[in-house]
Structure 1
Amino acid sequence: MRFTREEIEAAQRTVHAAMPPTPQYRWPLLSQRLGATVWAKHENHTPVGAFKIRGGLTYFETLAREQPQVRHVISATRGNHGQSVGFASQRHGLATTIVVPHGNSREKNAAMRALGVTLVEHGDDFQAAAEHAAVLAERDALHRVPSFHRELVRGVSTAYVEFFSALKDTPPDVLFVPIGLGSGFAGAAAARAHCGVSTKLIGVVSAHATAYRDSFRARRAVESPATTLLADGMACRTPVPESLDVILREADDVITVTDDEVAQAMRVLFSDTHNVAEGAGAAALAGALQQQERWRGKTMGIALSGGNVDADMFAGVLGGR
């Protein structure tokens, strides 16, 4: 997935009109722990606590220009995509319906409702919620916002353009990026091309939702059950074809991390940086910890992609439960 320089610069203007660039910090304790120089990109510092907001902003800016007749949108989510859609649609004065699976994060649900979203609960996982959103879109003639789309990726790429531009004199040897449906990874790949750096990209998926890892190894789409209890933002069982194409072309590797490894990474991020990470947000660090011997003495990047974890879940993780 390629973008012209003008497309990236336009995305930066759209995103930065709504929020400032997020920071990237080199945390001494993290670097000491991994035996490498470690830079964390803090997408947990956006107005909705996750990187997805960037894609929503560019998607809705384009929608307003190209389809001004749209007044009501619908989408499905486990939380961060829904907050992105709610945030951006509110800026454009659009009504928003979001479908979530039963048992979804209470605090993510509350955050979406605070953005004016009408929440519908359906099904036991993201795939079931997405299928129901498609039915409602058809029935009620609503514009359906996909979870992966070129315009979403264009916005997400701005996070990694910020990251690579800030480190242009010493670009990281590797960047670990969590994969849910793949917009984050695709955005990182687009930014790498835009900035002209040779940083290797390693995708990180849940060991309890291995569709993209299995597909990467098979070089074709492979479905897999999604049973992760902690990394809900990575609970994908069906790869998106366009996303998989990017991963097959651009990834150095795709690795898996268990819920236990994710929990440990959440604890490490809190102890070493005093940042809160949700499960998917800590997955990149979990991957880096798993591969620390490979990258010892090098410069590593991790995407702290979000911090939207329910308080009781985070308390349990910190307590080792």
Structure 2
Amino acid sequence: MQTTRLDLARIRAARRVIDPLFLDSPLYRCEALEPDLGCAVSIKLETANPVRSFKGRGTELVASLLADQGSRAAVCASAGNLGQALAWSGRGRGLDITVVASRFATVAKLDRIRALGAGLELVDGDHEMARERAAAIARYEGIRLLEDSLDIETCEGAATIGLELVDTPPSFDTVLIALGGGALATGVGHVVKALAPEVEVICVQPLGAPALTHSWRQRRVVTTESTDTIADGVAGRYPIPAVLDDLLLVADDAVLVREASIMAGMRMLLEHAGLVVEPSAALGIAAILEDRDRYAGRHVVTIVCGSNVDMDAYHRWAGAAPSRAAGSWPS
């Protein structure tokens, strides 16, 4: 029987290393969403922490390991959330952190990385170019390169979310997980399939950044030349083979959603849940909007994975009143 790279014993042990600020995030049924979605919906809220995303769970493991080893520094490429999380975790352990990002990344995320004391280097390309530059810095300076989703700590840190899901009643039928590099999906998916195998694990990615979904469907790495989505946190072009191998074992399905659905999901989370979220965090709601019949009568959990968003852009995306006649809420 094939197994993933993840290990339940290590995931349980991770809870003793991760700062409690990132653990036991709120999980609650949001009945106000249900009339428009046609199913029971629970929210796992991963934004109520110092970096406003789930990424701190993984960077806490990495920073703790580096500190124990006597390391002095680390570098990562980030669209913004991983960089903030590594800066926060590294600062608390005396590590020098460098983050490489696209200069087109969300300004609010870049500002927060600087505020947390990390060095920030900007590149003129996209996230894949930032990954190349971060690797070059690591080689030149002889420091740890943190590669999100490839480094198992990022996956097993995220997997602690899965422990909290399966340990909290009531039971649910489906979990919808944003799919970017794959740490969140493979981490949560591994735990759910190990401890609650009857639960359907569905990964959600934007149509404008479909590389890992296409890879999952074709069971081989599929790359894309570009991305075109407001969901910058999941806009990768080069899936990691080891991550795909894990995803093939834990995901029941991978679906793509339109930009209009993502924006509608953001509006719904604001209007019915009082949550300001970044586009990646609305992917689960977008998936329900696009296929209500699939989820009818089910209890669905969606992981709201981040709330680091430029507010001017947010108002453009989510501020307009939805119009069913204009097709703003896909059916």
Question: TM-score range with shorter-chain normalisation?
Answer: over 0.9
Partner Cα distance (1:38, 1:226) in 2: 33
Equivalent in the alignment of 2:94: 93
Partner Cα distance (1:72, 1:17) in 2: 24
Which ranges of structure 2 fall in alignment gaps of 5 or more residues? 322-331
**1:160 aligned onto 2:162:** yes
**1:303 aligned onto 2:303:** yes
Equivalent in the alignment of 1:22: 25
Equivalent in the alignment of 1:200: 200
TM-score between the two structures when normalised by the length of structure 2: 0.91
Partner Cα distance (1:158, 1:260) in 2: 31
Do the aligned partners of 2:102 and 2:123 also contact (CA within 8 Å) in 1? yes
Partner Cα distance (1:47, 1:233) in 2: 18
Deviation at 1:293, TM superposition (A): 0.8
Identity of aligned residues (%): 29
Deviation at 1:86, TM superposition (A): 0.7
Partner Cα distance (2:193, 2:286) in 1: 26
Partner Cα distance (1:256, 1:178) in 2: 10
SS at match of 2:133: helix
Pairwise mapping of residues 51-70 of structure 1 onto structure 2 (< 5 A)? Answer: 51-65=54-68, 67-68=69-70, 70=71
**1:50 aligned onto 2:53:** yes
Post-superposition CA distance 1:226-283 (Å, at most 9, x none): 4234100011100011211121121111111122211111001101101011011111
Deviation at 1:103, TM superposition (A): 1.3
Partner Cα distance (1:256, 1:58) in 2: 31
Equivalent in the alignment of 2:328: none
Equivalent in the alignment of 2:324: none
What amino acid is aligned across from residue 206 of structure 2 in structure 1? S
Partner Cα distance (1:226, 1:34) in 2: 32
Do the aligned partners of 1:122 and 1:129 also contact (CA within 8 Å) in 2? yes
* RMSD (Å), alpha carbons: 1.6
Pairwise mapping of residues 61-80 of structure 1 onto structure 2 (< 5 A)? Answer: 61-65=64-68, 67-68=69-70, 70-80=71-81
What amino acid is aligned across from residue 180 of structure 1 in structure 2? G
Partner Cα distance (1:228, 1:215) in 2: 18
Do the aligned partners of 1:176 and 1:288 also contact (CA within 8 Å) in 2? no
Distance 1:34 1:292, change over 3 A: same
Equivalent in the alignment of 1:120: 121
Deviation at 1:193, TM superposition (A): 4.0
Post-superposition CA distance 1:154-176 (Å, at most 9, x none): 11111121122113xx4211111
Do the aligned partners of 1:205 and 1:283 also contact (CA within 8 Å) in 2? yes
Partner Cα distance (2:84, 2:320) in 1: 29
What amino acid is aligned across from residue 160 of structure 2 in structure 1? T
SS at match of 2:249: helix
Deviation at 1:37, TM superposition (A): 1.0
Distance 1:285 1:225, change over 3 A: farther
Do the aligned partners of 2:177 and 2:204 also contact (CA within 8 Å) in 1? yes
Residues 30-39 or 273-282, more deviating: 30-39
Do the aligned partners of 2:21 and 2:49 also contact (CA within 8 Å) in 1? no
TM-score between the two structures when normalised by the length of structure 1: 0.94
Do the aligned partners of 2:22 and 2:57 also contact (CA within 8 Å) in 1? no
Partner Cα distance (1:195, 1:213) in 2: 24
Pairwise mapping of residues 209-220 of structure 1 onto structure 2 (< 5 A)? Answer: 209-220=209-220
Deviation at 1:124, TM superposition (A): 1.6
Number of aligned residues: 317
